[in-house]
């Protein structure tokens, strides 16, 4: 089974090299993974980088990294989740034990983004195992 994720990574991770393609070359995560949205888990990532013309490098087999700012991460969140009913309409939110668990996961990511340095670059990573 293929496991895909999108997350915010640390470009300063000493084990990561943005300019190298090799197995396992992905930055460590700084936040919980973005929750799924749409038909393909990493679909919003690829749609967003294409729409915003953001350069992306494949640094690992099926691992893509874009260098982004805090403002771009905020834009990505709005692009991917802003009009998605399962994140914005209580009638469509997926519930588990009375909690909109995907909304909670997205809120956790948003909280991390809120505390990021606006002058620094981060990795937006989409990968599949």
Domain ranges of the chain: 4-128
- List the pLDDT tens digit at each of the 129 positions of the chain: 457 899 999 999 999 999 999 999 999 999 999 998 876 678 899 999 999 999 999 999 999 999 999 999 999 999 999 998 888 888 777 778 888 888 889 999 999 999 999 999 999 999 987
Within 1-129, residue ranges assigned H as helices are 43-52, 70-81, 85-88, 101-114
Separation in Å, CA 6 to CA 30, 40, 91, 99, 119 = 12, 11, 26, 22, 22
pTM: 0.92
């Amino acid at each position: 089974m293929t496991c895909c994720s999108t997350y915010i990574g640390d470009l300063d991770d000493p084990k990561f090299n943005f300019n190298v393609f090799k197995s396992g070359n992905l930055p460590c995560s700084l936040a919980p993974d973005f929750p799924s949205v749409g038909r393909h888990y990493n679909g919003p990532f690829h749609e967003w980088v294409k729409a915003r013309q953001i350069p992306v490098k494949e640094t690992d087999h099926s691992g893509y990294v874009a260098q982004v700012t805090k403002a771009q991460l905020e834009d990505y969140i709005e692009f991917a989740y802003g009009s998605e009913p399962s994140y914005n309409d209580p009638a469509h939110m997926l519930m588990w034990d009375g909690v909109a668990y995907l909304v909670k996961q997205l809120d956790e990511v948003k909280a991390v983004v809120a505390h990021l340095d606006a002058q620094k670059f981060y990795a937006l990573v989409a990968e599949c195992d």
